[in-house]
Amino acid sequence: MDNIAGTRARLTWAVNLTAICLVVLWTIPTFGLLVSSFRNADQIASSGWWDALFATQSVDYKRAEGADAQVREGDTYVIAGDLLQDGKLSSWGISSRAPAAYQPGEVVDVDEGQQLTVQEDGSYRITSSNRFEGRRGMRIFLTTSVPPDFTLENYDRVVTAEGLGRAFLNTMTVTIPATVIPILVAAFAAYALAWMQFPGRAILVACVVGLLVVPLQVSLIPLLKLHNAIGLGKGYMGIWLAHTAFGLPLAIYLLRNYMVGLPKEVIESARVDGATEFQIFRRIILPLSFPALASFAIFQFLWVWNDLLVATVFLGNSQDQLVMTGVLRELLGSRGGDWEILAASAFISISVPLIVFFAMQKYLVRGLLAGSVKGG
Amino acid sequence: MKKLLTLSCAVCALSGSVALSQDLVFEPGDDDRFDWDSYNALKSDEFAGQSIRVFGPWLGQDRVLVESVIDYFEAATGITVDYSGSDSFEQQVVIDAEAGSPPDIGVFPQPGLAAELARKGQLKPLAEGTEHWIVDNYAAGESWAQYGNYLGPDGETHQYGFPFKADVKSLVWYVPENFEDAGYEVPETMEDLKTLTEQIAEDGETPWCIGLGSGGATGWPATDWVEDMMLRNNSPEDYDAWVKNELPFDDPKVIAAIEDYGWFSRQDDFVSGGAQAIASIDFRDSPKGLFDFPPQCYLHKQASFIPSFFPDGVEIGTDVDFFYLPAYADKDLGQPVLGAGTIFAQLTDNPVNAAFFEFLESPIAHEVWMAQRGFLTPYTKANADVYGDPTLKKMGDILTSATTFRFDGSDLMPGSIGAGAFWTGMVDYASGKSARDVAQQIQQQWNTLK
C-alpha cells in the first residue's frame, strides 16, 4: 500500500513531462512558420528555418564587368571592379565545378594570356595581353559567410496587397452575422428540445445528431440551386443562410446538451410561479448557458473566418466580393508554392481570431465541457 | 476593433485609388508592330453598356495580365467584363453550372473537364465557322481545333472551345556556362541527349533534377515525361488512340514509353537525390539544383512556366537557357511538341459572348499579352516580333514550327485517370514498381469507367 502514493506522485510527474513535451512538439511547427515568415523565398528554398538563426556559408557567383569596361594599361588590357558591397570572401573560383578552388589574393591563369586575381574584400582584376571581347562578363564564384538575415518584406507584401482592406470588411460582413444568427436560432431550438414537452422530440434530436455527419460539400450544389431558384442568388444573404445552416446541427446539439444539464428545480419552480416559456428561456436559461454560447461562438467565428470554400461558392470570386482567405490565396499566384507569403499571411490572418479567442477564453475553458457531462 | 476598422478603411481607400487607373498598357496606334487595324475593326456600339462574366483559373500576376488584355475589348466595345479567378476553378465551375448560375464564359485549363460539361449540355456551341477559323489560322490548327471539339448532349460533335494561350512542355532547361565549364554541347537528337546523360554521370556529376511532388497532384510532372516519350517513340495517331484508350494503357508501346522515361529517372546516377527521392521533391523546388555551385544537376525538363520558380535575379538567356527536348534521329517521327493551353468556352446564350470570341480571334488580343509575359500563341497572324523577350520568341518558334503538336494527354483523359490513376501510377513507378504493373493498374482503373 505504501508505494501506491509513491506511484501516483511519479505518475503525475510523468504526466506533466508528457504534457510539456506535447506542447513543445505542437509549438515547434508554428515557431518554424514564424521564423520562415521573416525569410525570403530563396532563403526558404536553400536552407531550413533552423539554420536561419546562424551564419551560413553561401556559394554564389557574381559577374565581372564585360569588355565595355576594359582599360588599356600599357600593353595589357585590364578589367577591374568590386564583387562585394561589404563583407569578406573566404575562397573563390572560376568554374562551377570547383567554385572554391582558390584563396583570396591568388593569381590564376584563366585563358591564354589572361590572368585573374580576387582579393578578400571582393575587388578583382583581370589582365590580358589581348583585347577583351564579348558583352557578357565572366562568372566569378565566391564563398562568403552570410549572417542571419531577416526581412519584413513578406508582411509588407501581404499587408499592402491590393484589395486586402476591402476583403477584411467583406470577411467581417460575412463572419459577424454568420456567427450571431446560428446562435440565436440554436438557442431557441436547444431550449425547446431540452425543456419543452411535445411529441417527436426525441426523433428531432436524433435528426439533428444525424445531420452532424453530413459533409457540407455534398450540399453545395443543391443549396446554391435553391438560392438561385428563390431569387437569392449569390450574395451576403445567401452566405449568412448557408453558414447558419451548416453551423446549426453542432450548435443545437451542443447547446441542448448543456441546457439539459441545468438543474430541473430552477425551471420547475419558475413554471410554478407562472413564468411563460419565453420568460424562462430569457431570464433563466440564457444567462445560465452563457459558457456554452460563448464556446460555440468561438467555434463558429473561427470556422467562418477561415472559410474559403463556402465563401467562393455562395459569394463569388470577383474582386469586390473576395474574403480575406481569397485575397491571401491570390497572393500565392496561379501555381501556389510561395511559402514565404503563406507563412506571413498565416500570422496576419490569425490575429483577429486570436483577439476573439483571448477575449472569450475564460468562457471557452468552461464551455469545452459543455454537453459532455450530464448535470456537470 | 475600432482601430482595426480605421486601418482597414485606410487600406481600402489606398487600393481603391490603384484600381481607378485603368489605362491600356500599350497606347493604340503607337507601336506599329501591333495590328491596330484589328483593334479598330472591333469598335462597335452594338452591345455597349452590357456586361459579361468571365471565370478562369488565373490569379495574382496572371490575373493582372489577362485583365490588361480584356481592357482592349472593353475599350473597343463598351462592354464590361467582370473577370474572376480561382485556384479551384475546376470544382467551382461545375458547382456554378450545376446550380444554374454559370459564368458567361469559362476558361478551362483542361479540355477533359470542358468535354464533360459539353456532354451534360452545360456548354453552348460556338458560332459556325469557328472550327475552320482555328484550322486555318493556328499552327497545327487541326490539333488545336480538336481540343475544343466535343460531343454535345445531342450526340453530335460541335466546336465548344476556343484555345487561347499555349504552354510548351517539351523543354529542357540548363545553365549554358555550366555546360561551357564542363565542355558539354546542347544535344540535337535524343540519342545525343542520352549520350550526354551518360557522359555527365561518368564525370561523377548528376545529370538530371526531377521532382514529382505537387501536393494532391503529386506525380503530374512524370506524366509529361511519359507523354513526351510517347510522341518520340510512337506515331501521333498512336498517341491519339492512347489518350482515348483505344490503345490500351498496358500496350507494349505505352510500356516502352514509360520505360524510356525510366531510363532517365530510375537510375540513381542520373537523378539528383537518387531515383527513389524524386516523388518527395516538390516540382517547384526541383529546378533549384541547376543554380547550386557545384551544380546538383545539369538538366531539368519542365514546361515554359517554370522560370517563375527560378531564384531571384536569374536572367533567362544568360544565366539559364533551354533547348527543345529532341526527337530520336532514327525514328523519323518529325519534331513533335507537347503542350498545353487554356480553352475558352461559353456557358450561357448571352449574345454578348460572340463579341468576346470575335475579340479573341483578332491578332491584337494575342499581341497585347505576347508583348508582356508568359504568353505563347500558335496564332500565325499574331506578329512574333512583339514578344516581350527573346525567350518567349524562341518558345513561340518551337510552337509554330512544330510538325506535330499534341495536347497534354493527361488533361484529355477522363479525370479519374489523367488527374488520378496516372499520377499515382507514376509515383508507384518512381518507388520501384515495374512499368508493366503500373500500366496494368492504370488500365484496370480505366476499365471500371467503361
**Predicted pLDDT of residue A321:** 83
Cα–Cα distance list, A43 to A53, A63, A99 (Å): 12, 21, 20
- Assess A368–B contact: CB distance below 8 Å, yes or no: no
pTM over 0.90: no
Which residue from B18, B53, B311 is facing A162, i.e. has the nearest CB? B18
Instruction: Determine the pLDDT at residue A78.
Output: 86
Adjacent-strand bridge partners of A116: A108, A126
Mean pLDDT of the B187-192 span: 92
Q: What is the mean pLDDT of chain B?
A: 87
Taking CA atoms, what residue in A is nearest to B284? A337
Q: Any CB–CB contact under 8 A between A206 and chain B? A: no
Share of chain B above pLDDT 90, in %: 44
Tell me whether B249 touches chain A (CB under 8 Å).
no
Whether A111 and chain B come into contact, CB under 8 Å, resolves to no
What is the rounded distance in angstroms from the CA atom of residue B209 to the CA atom of residue B221? 12
* CB-based contact, B20 to chain A, within 8 Å: no
| CA pseudo-torsion sign A201, A202, A203, A206 | positive
Question: With b meaning 16 or more CB within 10 Å and e meaning fewer, what string describes B268-304?
Answer: ebbbbbebebbbebbbbbbbbbbbbbbbbbbbbbbbb
C-alpha pair distances (Å), A255 with each of A182, A291, A373, B304: 11, 10, 13, 55
Residue-level pLDDT at B251: 93
Between β-strands A76-82 and A89-93, what pairing exists: parallel, antiparallel or unpaired? unpaired
d(CA B90, CA B81): 21
Helices (H), B21-106: 36-42, 60-77, 89-99
Q: Does B317 touch chain A (CB under 8 A)?
A: no
Over residues B58-114, the pLDDT tens digits come to 887 888 889 999 999 999 999 999 998 887 888 889 889 988 889 999 999 888 889
Does the fold of domain B171-337+409-447 match that of domain B24-167+340-402? yes
Choose among A159, A228, A331: nearest Cβ to B60: A331
Instruction: Please state which of the ranges A359-368, B55-64, B184-193, B195-204 shows the lowest mean pLDDT.
Output: A359-368
Q: Which residues of B touch A61 (CB under 8 A)?
A: 293
Alpha-carbon gap: B190 to the closest alpha carbon of chain A (Å): 25
Kindly report which listed range (B12-16, B132-136, B351-355) carries the lowest average pLDDT score: B12-16
pLDDT score for B227: 94
The predicted pLDDT at position B207 comes to 93
What pairs with residue B83 in β-bridges? Answer: B54
Q: Which fold has domain B171-337+409-447?
A: D-Maltodextrin-Binding Protein; domain 2 (3.40.190)
In this prediction, residue B210 carries a pLDDT of 94
Q: Tell me how far apart the alpha carbons of residues A344 and A153 are, in angstroms, rounded to a whole number.
A: 9
Q: Residues of A with CB below 8 A from B16's CB? A: 166
Res B297: pLDDT = 92
The residues of chain A scoring below 70 in pLDDT are: 1-9, 134-135, 334-337, 364-376
Architecture of domain B24-167+340-402: 3-Layer(aba) Sandwich (3.40)
Residue B19 has pLDDT above 50, yes or no: no
Q: How confident is the model over A266-295, as pLDDT tens digits?
A: 888 888 999 898 999 998 888 888 888 988
Helix, strand, or coil (residue B150): strand
Which residues are paired to A73 by β-bridges?
A76
B111: left (phi over 0), alpha (psi -120 to 50) or beta: alpha
Q: Tell me how close the Cα of A116 comes to any Cα of chain B, in angstroms.
A: 16
Locus of grid cell 493604340: B28
Among B445, B447, B443, CA closest to B416:
B445
Task: Please give the grid coordinates belonging to residue B73.
Answer: 475589348
Measure the CA–CA gap between B170 and B228, rounded to whole angstroms.
7
Residue B290 has pLDDT above 70, yes or no: yes
Note whether B87 contacts A139, CB cutoff 8 Å: no
Q: What is the pLDDT of residue A7?
A: 54
Q: Contact B363/B381 with Cβ under 8 angstroms?
A: yes
* DSSP annotation of A65: P
Closest to A88 in 3D by CA, of A143, A150, A141: A143
Pick from A230, A216, A289: nearest CA to A255: A289
Q: According to the model, what pLDDT value does residue B20 have?
A: 34
What are the structural domain ranges in chain B?
A: 24-167+340-402, 171-337+409-447
Residues comprising chain B, all counted: 450
What is the distance in angstroms between the Cα of B250 and the nearest Cα belonging to chain A? Answer: 32
What is the maximum alpha-carbon separation in chain A? Answer: 116
Answer for the pair B248, B443: CB distance below 8 angstroms, yes or no. yes
- Digit-coded pLDDT (tens) for B66-80: 999 999 999 999 999
Phi, psi values for residue B413, rounded to 5°: -70, 165
Cell of B335: 519534331
| B203-249 tens-digit pLDDT | 888 999 999 988 778 899 999 999 999 999 999 899 999 998 999 99
Tell me the per-residue pLDDT of B312-347, one tens digit each, with 9 for 90 and over. Answer: 778 888 889 999 999 998 888 888 889 888 999 999
Per 3-state DSSP, chain B is made up of helix, strand and coil in percentages (nearest 5) of 50, 15, 35
